[in-house]
């Protein structure tokens, strides 16, 4: 007797969660600055300084550098206050350990700035953490049993496993000469990574894409301009297990984007990012459902390991709209941004997305104003699987006397995760079985309704093949219905 075992080492996705937290800080207006009259808007850029997986949790810490734009009490040019807000976030997750591969995206859902008095401001930042964690796992699967006379019911199961998950630090440096950007100063910078190609080649992963930069800058006359640009990149990441044509994917997240705009219009960027490379492997494993030995008792020590089937995610797009109320009539929209603060499927055809929206606009008096909201949006969604890695883009138009028509476009992937059960037999013992047939070698049995041949054969100490031969049934027959069967007995 021989048990044919297959050892499997792979990675499981243990953590995939969106959490929201709020942090705040106070700041005193510098002595050289005038008193606060009206706060125009506030923006923030998050920097992740550290992310450390521990047993059962992930620790994330960093700083949000906020910029508060205000109008002086006695008029004059707009002034900017820089207020750092630190954060420390704990994401609880069973199964995460110090060896887990984790990634975190920290998005700014909203920044609220309130003047406590003319010389003090309180800044509150609503943070949205998108965390993922992968843990190494291993198990054994019994695919077959070699034993004379044994009957084994099994099927071939296709499964896609994460063979490798690796994390790589990535740094992108670039100097971009912007047109008509001389004498501008940066108000806010946002950076996202867009991957266009990911492929395996002789132990390396080739990743190509763009770092998308969205900047707000101020002119000397306090007018705000939008500066959008992109920096192409190519990264070659070492992964010895990656063979030519292997199934690969990469998730790239920005930890820090340090941008400086020189007086001559040169934008210098240092982007620190993390690349999580996923190497998938499609396998076919035989799954034992049942087995028996005619005329004997099989005593098996069996377990049923569960593997995580993770096929490649499929891209999708969706769109939703909503009307926002404003304090003034909107004359001109300068900038509209949206970040995903949560997404879930609410029906077979609908997706609900929670978007953090910020709009900068001019009133009829050409006064700079801002509106920000956490907006729930319903979008059509007919994909198989749950939404992942959503990025949002927003556009707005004036609607009515005091309103904005907001349209948000979502780009992401639909991922399916299925738990597949297999069989692992660590030991198998054959015991004698007392005969129930008293020398009878052939039984005539009336089948009422539909029964599976396997169940009939197992209960009568015979084989499916013997029943098929005795009753002239086709080789592919698995069920019989309303029939009189001749059943050969094998004692």
CATH number at residue 462: 3.10.350.10
Q: 327 and 204 share a domain?
A: no
The residue among 265, 271, 175 whose CA lies nearest residue 219 is 265
Report, as an integer, the average pLDDT of 105-124. Answer: 94
The arithmetic mean of pLDDT across residues 210-233, rounded, is: 91
Q: How many domains does the chain have?
A: 3
Whether residue 201 is found in the same domain as residue 247: yes
Q: Tell me the two tokens of residue 74.
A: 């006695």
Walk across the sheet containing 151-177 and list its strands: 101-117, 120-146, 2-28, 151-177, 266-292, 247-261
Other C-beta atoms closer than 10 Å to the C-beta of 70 total 23
89 within 8 A of 82, measured Cβ to Cβ: no
How many other CB atoms are found less than 10 A from the CB of residue 241?
12
Pick the more confident residue, 422 or 389: 422
**CA terminus-to-terminus distance, the chain:** 20
Number of Cα atoms under 13 Å in the Cβ half of residue 8: 30
Q: Which of 210, 213, 187 is nearest to 334 (CA)?
A: 187
Q: Tell whether 49 and 111 lie within a shared domain.
A: yes
Residue 372 reports pLDDT greater than 70 = yes
**Phi/psi at 55 (nearest 5 deg)?**
-65, 110
Residue where a domain terminates, one of 282, 303, 337: 282
Q: Is 305 within a domain?
A: no
* Per-residue model confidence (pLDDT) at position 181: 82
Distances (CA, A) of 12 to 139, 258, 280, 343, 427: 12, 34, 11, 22, 27
Q: What's the token pair of residue 226?
A: 């939008």
Structure tokens at 238: 């070492």
130 inside domain: yes
Tell whether 363 and 266 lie within a shared domain. no
What mean pLDDT is predicted for residues 397-415?
A: 91
Interatomic CA distance for residues 415 and 389, integer angstroms:
10
What pLDDT is recorded for position 437?
A: 67
* Whether residue 118 is found in the same domain as residue 208: yes
Where helices occur in 406-459 by DSSP H, the ranges are 453-459
Domain-located, residue 287: no
- Alpha carbon 429 to chain centroid, angstroms: 45
Question: Residue 149 — left, alpha, or beta (φ > 0 → left; ψ -120 to 50 → alpha)?
Answer: left
**Residue 432 above 90 pLDDT?**
no
Q: Give the tens place of pLDDT for each residue, 438-478.
A: 666 788 888 888 999 999 998 888 899 999 998 999 988 99
Q: Tell me, what's the pLDDT at 399? A: 87
Same domain as 184, residue 125: yes
Determine phi and psi for 400, rounding to 5 degrees: 75, -165
Boundaries of domain holding 472 = 435-488
In this structure, the answer to whether residues 344 and 468 fall within a common structural domain is no
Q: What is the mean pLDDT of residues 22-45?
A: 94
Domain assignment present for 350: yes
Given a cut of 70, whether residue 491 has pLDDT beyond it is no
- Which residues contact residue 280 at a Cβ distance below 8 angstroms, ignoring those fewer than 6 apart? 160, 161, 162, 163, 246, 247, 248, 249, 310, 311, 312
Which segments of 416-474 are extended strands (E)? 418-421, 424-432, 442-452
Paired tokens of 205: 């992963």
- Whether 477 maps to a domain, the answer reads yes
In the chain, % of residues over pLDDT 90: 71
- The span from the CA of 475 to the CA of 347, in Å, is 43
Q: Residue 64 pLDDT more than 90?
A: yes
31 part of a folded domain:
yes
User: Phi, psi at residue 453, to the nearest 5°?
Assistant: -60, -35
Residues 132 and 196: beta-carbon distance below 8 Å: no
Residues 98 and 186 in one domain: yes
- Give the span between the Cα atoms of 453 and 441, in whole angstroms: 18
Which tens digit of pLDDT belongs to each residue from 235-278?
A: 999 999 999 889 999 999 999 999 999 988 899 999 999 999 99
Q: What is the pLDDT of residue 361?
A: 93
CA distance 245 to 38: 59
Answer yes or no: do 109 and 189 share one domain. Answer: yes
C-beta separation of 489 from 441 below 8 A: yes
Is pLDDT above 80 for 131? Answer: yes
Laid out side by side, the sheet with 330-345 consists of: 330-345, 350-363, 368-380
Is the pLDDT score of 46 beyond 90? yes
Q: pLDDT tens, 352-371?
A: 999 999 999 999 998 999 99
Residues 411 and 446 reside in one and the same domain: no
Please indicate, yes or no, whether residues 264 and 355 belong to a single structural domain of this protein.
no
Give a yes or no: residue 39 inside a domain.
yes
Residues 268 and 375 in one domain: no
Instruction: Kindly state whether residue 152 falls inside one of the protein's structural domains.
Output: no
Residue 23: the pLDDT is 96
Report percent pLDDT > 70 for the chain.
Answer: 99
Q: What confidence tens digit (pLDDT) does each residue in 199-210 have? A: 999 899 999 999
């Amino acid at each position: 007797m021989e048990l044919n075992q297959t050892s499997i080492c792979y990675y499981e996705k243990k953590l995939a969660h969106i959490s929201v937290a709020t942090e705040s800080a106070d700041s005193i207006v510098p002595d050289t600055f005038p008193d606060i009259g009206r706060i125009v808007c506030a923006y923030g850029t998050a920097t992740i300084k550290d992310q450390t997986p521990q047993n059962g949790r992930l620790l994330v810490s960093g700083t949000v550098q906020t910029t508060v734009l205000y109008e002086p009490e006695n008029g004059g040019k707009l002034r900017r206050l820089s207020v750092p807000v630190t954060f420390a976030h704990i994401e609880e997750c069973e199964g995460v350990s110090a060896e887990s591969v984790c990634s975190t995206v920290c998005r700014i859902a909203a920044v609220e700035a309130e003047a406590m008095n003319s010389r003090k401001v309180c800044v509150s930042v609503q943070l949205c953490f998108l965390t993922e964690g992968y843990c190494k796992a291993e198990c054994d699967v019994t695919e077959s049993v070699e034993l004379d006379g044994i009957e084994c019911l099994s099927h071939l199961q296709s499964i896609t496993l994460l063979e490798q998950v690796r994390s790589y630090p990535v740094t992108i440096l670039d100097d971009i000469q912007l047109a008509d950007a001389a004498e501008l100063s940066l108000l806010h910078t946002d950076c996202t990574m867009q991957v266009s190609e990911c492929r395996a080649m002789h132990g390396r992963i080739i990743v190509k894409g763009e770092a998308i930069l969205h900047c707000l800058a101020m002119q000397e006359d306090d007018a705000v301009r939008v500066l959008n640009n992109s920096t192409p990149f190519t990264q070659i990441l070492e992964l010895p297990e990656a063979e030519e044509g292997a199934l690969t994917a990469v998730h790239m997240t920005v930890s820090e984007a340090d941008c400086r705009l020189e007086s001559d219009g040169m934008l210098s960027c240092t982007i620190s990012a993390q690349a999580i490379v996923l190497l998938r492997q499609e396998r076919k494993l035989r799954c034992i459902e049942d087995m028996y030995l005619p005329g004997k008792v099989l005593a098996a020590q069996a377990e049923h390991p569960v593997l995580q089937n993770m096929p490649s995610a499929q891209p999708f797009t969706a769109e939703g709209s909503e009307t926002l109320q404003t304090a003034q009539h909107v004359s001109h929209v300068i900038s509209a941004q949206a970040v995903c603060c949560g997404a879930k499927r609410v029906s077979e055809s609908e997706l609900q997305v929670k978007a953090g929206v910020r709009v900068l606009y001019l009133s009829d008096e050409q006064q700079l104003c801002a509106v920000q909201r956490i907006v729930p949006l319903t979008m059509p969604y007919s994909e198989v699987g749950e939404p992942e890695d959503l990025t949002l883009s927003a556009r707005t138009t004036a609607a009515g006397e005091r309103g904005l028509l907001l349209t948000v476009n979502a780009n992401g992937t639909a991922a399916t995760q299925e738990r597949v059960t297999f069989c692992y037999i660590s030991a198998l013992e054959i015991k004698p079985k007392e005969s129930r047939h008293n020398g009878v070698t052939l039984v005539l049995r009336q089948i009422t309704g539909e029964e599976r041949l396997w169940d009939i054969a197992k209960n009568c100490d015979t084989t499916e093949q013997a029943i098929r031969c005795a009753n002239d049934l086709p080789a592919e027959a698995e069920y019989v219905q309303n029939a009189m069967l001749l059943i050969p007995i094998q004692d």
